[in-house]
Structure 1
Amino acid sequence: MYRFLLSPRWLGALALTLVAAAVMVWLGNWQLDRYRGRTEVNERIDAGQRMSPVPLTEAMSAPGGGAGKAGPAPAKDKVWTRITVTGRYDPTNTVLVRGRTVDSRVGFEVLTPLVLADGTALLVDRGWIPPAPGGATAQPPVPVAPTGDVTVVGRVHETESGAGTVDRRDGRLETRRIAVPRLAGELPYPVYGAYVLLDEQTPAADPAFKAVSVGHANNWQNFGYVVQWWLFAVMALFGYGWVARREARRAAGLDTERKPLDRAAEPTPSASA
């Protein structure tokens, strides 16, 4: 019944089905890797919110280059670590990060270098402020940074992708992306290879700032894609088998759709018989 499967047409259809199913399985495995990676990130975010702060040097290596150089990026398992560090803010090199959204409003995040006792600096995201009247890109007045020693508690945030551009507008540095290596080139000291989202500060931070929320990655979307692609692979194989079975039954004269017609064509037995 199934000898026809050895014909070139059916062998070609089988090969195409197997390739399609293999690609779908591969896509499912790829989404599974993304699901696991995003799950790990979410777990680190949650752990960072709960943990007690550790010294900065336990999360990041100090920059070893000269002025304008960024240090090494933190290890992935150190991103979102809650750290504490003491230094002095350098408001003259504050960086305004435009086009940032908090509570559905577009404004600026304010990065101010915290200069440590050894002369290195750490970029601290002090929070979000709305733009000045006149539009989303109108530079706002920036709350004054505390003078003297400041103790910061915050979470390590890796540098953002994309080099971005850094402009100087109205005497202030301004950018769209927080690309630490690019920003370091504008600063007069070595800079740590990631920045810190401020959680707490002593002296207290200005209430004009709004905390920058940390969004969790949508890992369940990736898990849904895993199920989808693997289900498509099963459906492709099932579809090939179903079509092949129907063809075999038709060739053997067992096509159920023809049975009623065959019975109607048979003569009705006479009453005398």
Structure 2
Amino acid sequence: MTFPDPSAGAGTGADAPVEVFPPTLREVMLRGRWIAMLALCLVVAGVFAWLGQWQLGRAIDTDPTPPGATEEVLPLAEVAAPGEYLSEPLVGQRVTVTGTWVPDDFVIVSSRFNDGAAGYWVTGQLRIAGGDADGAPASIAVAIGWAGTEQEAIEAAGQLNETASTADTDAALAITGRLISDEGPVLPPKGADPETLTRMSPAALLSRWHDVEGLNVYRPYLASEVAQGPLTDIASPAPDEGSGVNWLNIFYAIEWAVFAGFAFYLWYRLARDAWEKEVEDLEDAAGQAS
């Protein structure tokens, strides 16, 4: 396709209109402006590709937890530290810790199911013997046992509090159970007592505990395997073996690959639009010249 040069005069011979050939798409893409734009797209695509590779690396666990690892009883200090979040492979890990109950800190948590039966947990603040790794005072919230009715839970909490108040402060007891992540505090149900707790949250329990000045508290809580007093043992089966593949991260990696491809498509689309506009301008100019 050719067009007469609109800037040339009419006539024949030397004065005849000069035919102008419109640029091809390839010629437009090879211009300096679009080469620079392509270089920028290469940088952007490279960043997206790196992010995709990073997500892919996080998606596949190259060092998965061995089957049954959560059933080995470990000292609490080897699994977690006060103030730290519990990593996913350690959720449900069986641990043991030694300490004493703090009097007046036995709190009831409702909406607790035990083998399908609704009921209540009685919880307590266990002051850890020796404190944390630096020797500072430290405590962990413990779900001590389950009760079928609120009245039973209240009576059990009273008995535990009486025992803790009269116990020798040097007589520490060992608690074994599963370490579980904080469930997060929520508002009590509408119309319920404002003090009602329906989630096992050490953060919420901390606001009701005594003697917490300078205290370091564990973020996860401990579900005791053996109940104390008149309470029933809490049913806490071993966690399901997790997959070594995180499909959400794989989906994110695919997204980054799509974004990298889109960067090149955007460059192509912009260059093509510029080429089409240039050809269209030449057609309009040729039409006006004729």
Length-normalised TM-score, structure 2: 0.49
Given the superposition, is the C-alpha separation of residues 164 and 123 from structure 1 closer, same or farther in structure 2, using an over 3 Å criterion?
Answer: same
Given the superposition, is the C-alpha separation of residues 216 and 164 from structure 1 closer, same or farther in structure 2, using an over 3 Å criterion?
Answer: farther
**SS where residue 176 of structure 2 aligns?**
strand
How far residue 228 of structure 1 moved from its aligned partner, in angstroms, is 1.3
Distance 2:262 2:58 in 1: 24
| Unpaired runs of at least 5, structure 2 | 1-23, 131-136, 274-290
Matched, 1:53 2:79: no
Aligned partner of 1:222 in structure 2 is 248
Distance 1:9 1:76 in 2: 52
How far residue 111 of structure 1 moved from its aligned partner, in angstroms, is 2.8
Given the superposition, is the C-alpha separation of residues 11 and 126 from structure 1 closer, same or farther in structure 2, using an over 3 Å criterion?
Answer: farther
Letter in 1 for 2:210: P
Distance 1:91 1:41 in 2: 43
**SS where residue 201 of structure 1 aligns?**
coil
Distance 1:44 1:160 in 2: 26
Distance 2:141 2:262 in 1: 53
Q: Which has the larger radius of gyration?
A: 2
Aligned-residue RMSD, C-alpha: 5.5
Contact 2:41 2:267 in 1 (8 A): no
Identity of aligned residues (%): 24
**SS where residue 205 of structure 2 aligns?**
helix
Distance 1:192 1:12 in 2: 56
- Of 34, 52, 63, 1:28 maps to 52
How far residue 124 of structure 1 moved from its aligned partner, in angstroms, is 0.7
String of CA shifts for 1:65-112, please: whole Å, max 9, x gaps: xxxxxxx42486796554323445457423344567888998765532
Matched, 1:151 2:166: no
Contact 2:56 2:249 in 1 (8 A): yes
Given the superposition, is the C-alpha separation of residues 235 and 59 from structure 1 closer, same or farther in structure 2, using an over 3 Å criterion?
Answer: closer
Distance 1:176 1:113 in 2: 16
- Of 83, 94, 108, 1:73 maps to 83
Contact 1:94 1:112 in 2 (8 A): yes
How far residue 58 of structure 1 moved from its aligned partner, in angstroms, is 4.5
Matched, 1:193 2:214: no
Aligned partner of 1:123 in structure 2 is 141
- Of 158, 163, 184, 2:206 maps to 184
Given the superposition, is the C-alpha separation of residues 129 and 240 from structure 1 closer, same or farther in structure 2, using an over 3 Å criterion?
Answer: farther
Given the superposition, is the C-alpha separation of residues 158 and 111 from structure 1 closer, same or farther in structure 2, using an over 3 Å criterion?
Answer: same
| Unpaired runs of at least 5, structure 1 | 62-71, 133-138, 248-273
Length-normalised TM-score, structure 1: 0.51
Distance 2:179 2:40 in 1: 48
- Of 62, 65, 72, 1:43 maps to 65
Letter in 2 for 1:153: T
How far residue 176 of structure 1 moved from its aligned partner, in angstroms, is 4.4
Distance 2:114 2:39 in 1: 52
How far residue 187 of structure 1 moved from its aligned partner, in angstroms, is 1.3
Distance 1:155 1:21 in 2: 46
Given the superposition, is the C-alpha separation of residues 60 and 235 from structure 1 closer, same or farther in structure 2, using an over 3 Å criterion?
Answer: closer
How far residue 113 of structure 1 moved from its aligned partner, in angstroms, is 1.9
**SS where residue 246 of structure 2 aligns?**
helix
- Of 227, 230, 234, 1:209 maps to 234
**Count of aligned positions:** 223
How far residue 236 of structure 1 moved from its aligned partner, in angstroms, is 3.4
Distance 2:116 2:49 in 1: 39
Matched, 1:95 2:117: no
Aligned partner of 1:255 in structure 2 is none
- Of 233, 236, 260, 2:262 maps to 236
